[in-house]
Amino acid sequence: MDSFELNKIIGAILGTLLFVMGVGFLAEAIYHPIEGRGPGYALPEPAETAAADADAAPAAPVTPLPVLLASADASAGESAARKCLSCHNVVKDGTNKQGPALWGIVGRLEGAHEGFAYSDALKAHNAAGDVWSYENLDHFLASPKTYAPGTKMAFAGVKDPVERANILAYLQTLADAPVPFPAPEAAPAPAADAAAPAADAAAPAAEAPKT
């Protein structure tokens, strides 16, 4: 290959490079955004609280525990309480296991079962005179660590209130004299309309006699 052919090849390569560079400069000049040329209007960002309120669903009404207990199923509670049998004894005169025996627990003084080494949290409940009422048992079953911080019971809790009520109905049967369920509160009677006008005020005034 002579020098003339080599120069032609090099020239073609350089020409191609120049063409590509020129096209790049031209494209940048055409599509480059225009910034800072005149006043603008910044749209306000939506408040996070407004979005959160819009997405938030109304809280479901809480059913009182006595109402749940009135329709609780002890058989379903016995099935749900099977998860407790690895740590608790449920038979009469049963010995303590990893947890205290549960026979007669409803109405019993908290942290008082003989022979069991309770945590300081339950000892404090015991010193305060707290008993295992249905309400306290419900709170404990919902979250043992919340009811008694530092408790030895490594159990996350039962989140479903209906399931807890069924377990409480089963615990009621673990006694020689079962403790009655608390009675549901009666709905308050509608208040009388105190703003009703008096009958004599509503009646037209009598015309005074003429003399």
Find tokens 């099935």 and name the residue.
Answer: 79
Residue 195 has pLDDT above 60, yes or no: no
Instruction: Return the half-sphere exposure (C-beta side, CA atoms, 13 A cut-off) of residue 36.
Output: 0
Domain contains 98: yes
Percent of the chain, pLDDT > 90?
53
**Radius of gyration (Cα) for the chain, nearest Å?**
40
What is the token pair recorded at 35? 């910034």
H or E element in which residue 104 lies: none
pLDDT at position 205: 47
Confidence of residue 190 (pLDDT cuts 50, 70, 90): low
Domain contains 155: yes
Q: Which whole number is the average pLDDT over 73-84?
A: 95
Domain boundaries, position 97: 65-172
Domain contains 160: yes
Q: Which whole number is the average pLDDT over 173-191?
A: 84
pTM exceeds cut of 0.75: no
pLDDT digits (tens, 9 = 90+) for 93-141: 989 999 999 999 999 999 999 999 999 999 999 999 999 999 999 999 9
Domain contains 74: yes
Spatial contact of 142 and 133, defined as CB atoms under 8 Å apart: no
Who's near 113: CB < 8 A, 6+ residues apart? Answer: 96, 100, 101
Domain contains 150: yes
CA dist 177 and 94 (Å) reads: 17
The enclosing domain of 132 has a CATH number of 1.10.760.10
CB-count exposure of residue 125 (10 Å: 0-12, 13-18, 19+): buried
Residue 206 has pLDDT above 90, yes or no: no
Domain contains 109: yes
pLDDT at position 5: 74
What is the token pair recorded at 89? 């004894």
pLDDT digits (tens, 9 = 90+) for 22-71: 777 666 666 655 555 555 555 555 556 555 555 555 666 889 999 999 99
Residue 149 has pLDDT above 80, yes or no: yes
Count of structural domains within the chain: 1
Domain contains 151: yes
Domain contains 35: no
Confidence of residue 152 (pLDDT cuts 50, 70, 90): confident
> Residue 109 forms beta bridges with which residues?
131
